[in-house]
Chain A
Amino acid sequence: MSLKWNDHNGCFHPDSAFDFLPGEQLRALQLQRLRATVERTYSNVEFMRKRMDAHGVRPEQLRTLDDIRRLPFTDKIDLRDTYPYGLFACPMSEVVRLHASSGTTGKPIVVGYTQGDMETWKNVILRSLAATGMHRGDILQNAYGYGLFTGGLGLHYGAEALGATVIPISGGNSDRQIMIMRDFGVTAISCTPSYFIHLIEHGASMGVDLKTLPLRIGVFGAEPWTEEMRCFIQREANIRAFDIYGLSEIIGPGVGIECTCQNGLHIFEDHFLFEILDPKTGAPVPDGEEGELVLTTLSKQAMPILRYRTHDITRVIPEQCDCGRSIRRIARISRRSDDMLIIRGVNVFPSQIEAALLKVEQTLPHYQIIVRREREMDEMEIRIEVTAEVFSDRVSEIERIAKRLSHAVESTTGIRAKISLVEPQTIQRSEGKARRVLDLRKLDEQKNPL
């Protein structure tokens, strides 16, 4: 095995050693941990015991890693149904931390951590940040929200453990974000990619060009983003932008990270077992083919999760990464199986629309996709904010851009969309996740249940 150490600038952290575990040892460790996890779940979580019994599977039947396919799936609905502590595998006296999702519909989902889980979480974040080239001496502005959301606190302890200087600024208050970024000599930032794009714009409006700051690393996640967005961010802020992957149900951020090769996300396989399955049949897809990411925790104690359906679409990259890590990679997640819009029978993903808009405008405009059903026909409208770059004093020029946008969307998705140019700042911004899609068809159905 050849290792390329040069991308670490002599700052290799010993905890990263597990990233390079030889395949055979890794599989053995995974199997040992999987068995322990399934046993623990079966003995301590009534909900899961009943489900496994109904499935006719017992923990001792797990002899190889492939036997995981005998286990039933877990889905988000199960976390709702067992709200708040129904999937906990330990007494509350051992739980040292609770987090919860924002819960836009009904009850949130609750996740718990033992002291051991906190150590695991710290470990995967440390290894994530180290993989991006971050090290002791870096000053990290952690602009993920602190609180019930796992982003802020999750990054926090791992970054401290790495030895970085952490600024726990949390999300929001863009004036202060820019001021602190400039005044504190910030070299790394973590937040959602859409919020960082907002910060680039906001900095410009304050006369601060992020390109001129010492900022060099961005760790972005908590929402799907595209290669085009990465190019935009890297160009406009002169940093390297890394994709971090995670979900509260599994641990929070730190399930996977891009290394400095920026070619897929390494999954921390010693703690998380992943499968790529056909979302319809649940059968594994051949290596390299797209499917739904399904995750099993291998080290979690408070809340072990078996075969969690993430609804994130990706594929495994089977080749060894140039960085030398032996833990495998998945391709960047740019869409979700439940993110897909079916318009007039055609599958449309917001990421396709985004790519089309970027092709025409070069920079990423703020946009929103609105889907309506009018006279039994699905209509897609894309509202796009006019920027100073595309605005012209001539009507014909603006109409020409609208036509080009319309053409780009139609050639990418096969669907003709109504393009509506709107004034700047009129599409609702969120400091966290951007609300890109408004599917009004669902609302209509709820109003008229027939």
Chain B
Amino acid sequence: MKIQQLSLFLENAPGHLATPCAVLADAGFNILTLTLADTQGFGILRLILREWEPAQRILEKSGFVVKVTDVVAVQVEDRPGGLRKLLQIVEQAGVNIEYMYAFTVRCGGKAIMVFRLDHTDQGIAALLGSGARVLSATELYALAG
């Protein structure tokens, strides 16, 4: 149920975000979603894409430092309290959320939450046990169309 996310180190300076995007575009890879964690000096670009394995190779060949991180993608009910329910499940399982971000997919405008957890397997078990809709890689890429 884990999704592989690519994380890249970037300097926080003009033009530094464009290069990895150009590398992926030239290779013909479509980015499903991305988020940027930034500080004054540097940023971490986190990417989810179907072709993460060749993408990692190409990015490393272009000189980037790339880490593969396991994250969990959960479909969230698009109504008040939808997110809170998910957070409660994770919290009650004693699992810590290192970071999270949300995006919507093309098909049916569904909202997806991406979680990076300190204990990924434990978190997935708790979410599944509470009936949350945890997406496998295949399901996630299918939703994205």
Contact = CB atoms under 8 A, between A and B. Distances in A.
A423 B44 contact: no
Nearest to A389: B65
A391 B9 contact: yes
Nearest to A399: B39
A386 B44 contact: no
Given A424-B63, A424-B64, A393 B44 contact: yes
A395 B37 contact: yes
Contacts of A425: 63
Contacts of B131: none
A395 B11 contact: no
A388 interface: yes
Interface of A is mostly: loop
Contacts of A393: 5, 7, 44, 46, 67, 69, 116
Q: Which residue, B5, B7, B42, has most C-beta atoms of chain A within 10 A?
A: B42
Interface string A413-433: 000000011111110000000
A398 interface: yes
A423 B10 contact: yes
Contacts of A394: 44, 98-99
Contacts of A399: 39
Interface residues of A, number: 18
A423 B64 contact: yes
B46 A423 contact: no
A422 B65 CA distance: 10
Interface string A377-419: 0000000001110011111001100100000000000000000
Contacts of B110: none
B119 interface: no
B133 interface: no
A413 B89 CA distance: 50
Contacts of B46: 393
B107 to A, nearest CB: 28
Given A392-B67, A424-B65, A425-B63, A398 B44 contact: yes
Interface string B76-109: 0000000000000000000000110000000000
Q: Which residue, B16, B39, B65, B67, has most C-beta atoms of chain A within 10 A?
A: B65
Interface in B7-49: 7, 9-11, 16, 37, 39, 41-42, 44, 46
Contacts of B16: 423
Contacts of A388: 65-67
A400 to B, nearest CB: 12
Interface string A172-214: 0000000000000000000000000000000000000000000
Nearest to A402: B41
Nearest to B39: A395
A423 B63 contact: yes
A115 B44 CA distance: 61
Nearest to B68: A393
Contacts of B11: 421-423, 426
A338 B68 CA distance: 45
Contacts of B10: 423
Nearest to B38: A395
Contact of A391 (B63, B65, B99): B65
A391 B116 CA distance: 16
Contacts of B69: 393
Q: Which residue, A393, A398, A426, has most C-beta atoms of chain B within 10 A?
A: A393
B45 to A, nearest CB: 10
14 contacts: A386-B42, A388-B66, A391-B7, A393-B67, A393-B116, A395-B37, A395-B44, A398-B44, A421-B41, A422-B11, A423-B9, A423-B64, A424-B63, A424-B64
Which are the 8 A-B pairs with shortest beta-carbon distances? A393-B7, A425-B63, A393-B69, A391-B65, A386-B9, A395-B37, A393-B67, A391-B9
Interface of A: 386-388, 391-395, 398-399, 402, 420-426
Given A421-B41, A424-B63, 14 more contacts: A386-B65, A388-B67, A391-B7, A391-B9, A393-B44, A393-B46, A393-B67, A393-B116, A395-B44, A398-B42, A420-B41, A423-B9, A423-B11, A423-B65
